[in-house]
A and B are shown apart, each in its own frame.
Chain A
Amino acid sequence: DTAVSQTPKYLVTQMGNDKSIKCEQNLGHDTMYWYKQDSKKFLKIMFSYNNKELIINETVPNRFSPKSPDKAHLNLHINSLELGDSAVYFCASSHGREYDYGYTFGSGTRLTVV
């Protein structure tokens, strides 16, 4: 009964490949997010969706494309992977906006590009 689940947990791939990370939440939250945590543990928001609509799109290369088929799912597709994309990617959700109730985070996907 995991609240926010991400798959896969680990992803090792070669430069130039295309990969996807899936996220699902069973909390009934209407807002979902993707965050990137770099090797220094710094967290930076990438995207935010509210009821399947994109509401935050930070300065992220257009190789990264989020897709929200419904409000319980937010997937992240990455084209032409680069070494610098190696990081831990966290999916999160919130009830309404995150400043009201805070986030619930998934356990992360560790992406390693070789």
Chain B
Amino acid sequence: AQSVAQPEDQVNVAEGNPLTVKCTYSVSGNPYLFWYVQYPNRGLQFLLKYITGDNLVKGSYGFEAEFNKSQTSFHLKKPSALVSDSALYFCAVSHNTGGFKTIFGAGTRLFVKA
């Protein structure tokens, strides 16, 4: 069965510092991996995805994510955090087999302090 784990409930970082939000996954076959962000009282917004190709994927708002097949990880990163990046971040994994669905992680709250 496919699954996705976000080991940290919350990540705290100072503005201007690099940030990492962790995600590991379990899926048989090749994964389709996604990051979404949710601001208060809003729906989730797509940030970036990995399907195939370069292991470093660049997305919206200066975010990037690194796919590591051996570690089954897809960590979200940003070189310099902004206070406005404070939000809830969801990792998601999909698998291209009949009848499957996308599984979301439990979410990680990012708090960027000025």
Residues of A within 8 A of B (CB): 4, 40-43, 45, 48, 56, 58, 90, 92, 97-108
Contact = CB atoms under 8 A, between A and B. Distances in A.
B44 A103 contact: yes
Interface string B93-114: 0111001111010110000000
A38 to B, nearest CB: 10
A106 B44 CA distance: 8
Given A45-B101, A98-B94, A105 B44 contact: yes
A48 B43 contact: no
A91 to B, nearest CB: 8
A3 B88 CA distance: 21
A85 B76 CA distance: 32
B43 A106 contact: yes
Contacts of A101: 49
Contacts of B36: 102-103, 105
A41 B9 CA distance: 11
Tell me if A's interface is mostly helix, strand, loop or mixed: mixed
B107 to A, nearest CB: 5
Nearest to B99: A56
A48 B101 contact: yes
A40 B94 contact: no
Contacts of B94: 97-99
Q: Which of A99, A100, A108 has the most CB of B within 10 A?
A: A99
Contact of A98 (B88, B102, B107): B102
Contacts of B100: 99
Contacts of A4: 43
B106 A41 contact: yes
A22 to B, nearest CB: 15
Nearest to A110: B41
Given A99-B96, A107-B43, 10 more contacts: A41-B88, A42-B107, A45-B101, A56-B99, A90-B43, A90-B44, A99-B95, A103-B36, A104-B46, A105-B43
Contacts of A100: 32, 51
